[in-house]
Structure 1
């Protein structure tokens, strides 16, 4: 599933980024979050393609199938030039974007700094303001070195608990699916790289200016949120909605932080409808 989604590799600023392009029509760029990778889009991409969208996706630098360099900054701030370079590589002067978790914050940062490149933006369960790291992730980050070099079995147990808490029904995150989420962040390379490239950058300073920056946005923004999100409380969805002019909001009942796993049909339908509405308003 995830392997088929990533069907290309691109060198960006000297680093290899795993990418994929599927379908034809109106462009939509997908920006995943943490501790995920492109697997989180596997149930949405076919729906987007069937709806007539050309889907562009990638694994963030240091994540999933992309390069995990020893000396690279992989914070939200450092991922923004990578995203811009990919838009150039794909020859997307303007595009619709869908970002989840830190991918939502990264996409909002693009909207703040270079809004002309976005036809519309949908964000889902995004980190924002002072919302992150969540309590369980804060405890893990505070012991980052210990976890990075710790017992592999204990690490997998900890991450299994985290993944199960990301969905409304913990039983959903089990078996092969759980293993596919765990694979890039486990093992002698994946485990320390996960803490170096992801957990170490769980820092609200990257979103601290949202309260002042977001009211100036002139990009159409749709906000999706899992009603049972245990990592990013729903109150942040309402705060984002209040701060972003003209934004729309949909709370997805029965969905957790990984709402693409809990409610793929609802999420895909919301994104497609918002893209079509935005295209109609541009015409």
Structure 2
């Protein structure tokens, strides 16, 4: 009986194995993925180049979401209104805070301040005013202070906010004062940041709020910033001017309504009884600190804090100093006594 032949074991040379491994790698798939990645990267760079302002706002929204602040919408008088909200309100020692942005602004302007105000069981809301940010822009609206004040009151109703701490910045301060006069029982405490709404000497052309040229944009930046005017990259400058042409009609309507001066607050603020914080940038070239002093003079129980080294954009650029002082004002029990305080830059 024959034995079966012993099975031969064939060993492939190492060089041959390497050659086969190279040829069997899914290069076609890899090349396709590489092309897709290159195309997507190029498209993203083109988008950033063409729409840098939108990209910056989207990045801000992502940053807010990472901090627990969410983007939402609500229908008010049949119009779609956008807002951000965050924080946990449990009643008791917690409060509800509503933040109102200024002329040409949007809810993202509060991005540096919102996270600080959310602490200690506060829930914060930052709506886009009618015509601004991601809110609807109806063609038949006046965008006046009374109309925007009505929007804030209706927003509070829609969110079932019985009593709030209300803050306004620039034109938003004017709107907040109007709400406080209309619905004083709904406002626990009032905060005004570099607020419009009282008479002051206008040292600039209001048309700068809707810049048409690079020079006008530079002049507007000089009004908004406390020191040397920061340079703006050309592609961002181009996009800002594009947006000014696209949405500037809303700002012009707001300006036209405000410049009539019929809704000014001079002589009306003395009836306010809630605690009031007035915060101002010492180097505000747009609305001078004298306007804050005038508001302080009309409201006996108000606290005036003037921040050195800050301009009209103080709630954003100086949020690290303004935030703690605002929290101190909100938490004070009993409320802070009337005073004027100079806050040094360092």
**How far does the alpha carbon of each residue in 1:94-118 deviate from its partner, in whole angstroms, 9 at most, with x for none?**
0101111011011111111211101
Match of 2:247 in 1: 190
| Residue in structure 2 matched with residue 64 of structure 1 by the alignment | 133
Change (3 A) 1:182 1:3: farther
- Which residue does 2:103 correspond to in 1? 34
Distance 1:49 1:3 in 2: 16
TM-score normalised to structure 2 length: 0.69
Match of 2:258 in 1: 202
1:48 offset after TM fit, Å?
1.8
Aligned residue number for residue 298 of structure 2: 243
After TM superposition, give the deviation of residue 249 of structure 1 in Å.
Answer: 0.7
Query: Is the radius of gyration larger for structure 1 or structure 2?
Result: 2
Deviation at 1:256, TM superposition (A): 0.4
- 1:257 maps to 2:312: yes
Alignment of 1:2-151 (within 5 A): 2-4=60-62, 7-25=71-89, 26-131=95-200, 134-138=202-206, 140=208
Distance 1:173 1:211 in 2: 37
Cα separation, 2, equivalents of 1:73 and 1:122:
25
- For 1:144, the equivalent position in structure 2 comes to none
**Structure with more relative contact order (C-alpha pairs < 8 Å, separation 6 or more):** 1
Q: Which of 276, 300, 308 in structure 2 is aligned with 1:221?
A: 276
Q: Indicate if the aligned counterparts of 1:95 and 1:117 stay in contact, CA closer than 8 A.
A: yes
Q: How far apart in 1 are the matches of 2:226 and 2:277?
A: 22
Relative to structure 1, the CA distance from residue 122 to residue 206 in structure 2 (aligned partners, 3 Å threshold; closer, same or farther) is: farther
- Structure (1 or 2) with the greater helix fraction: 1
Q: Report the aligned-residue RMSD.
A: 2.7
TM-score (norm 1): 0.83
User: Residues 113-161 of structure 1, C-alpha deviation per residue, up to 9 Å, x if partnerless?
Assistant: 21110110010111122237x33243558xxxxx6xxxx8x44542343
CA distance in 1 between counterparts of 2:249 and 2:84 reads 26
Deviation at 1:204, TM superposition (A): 5.5
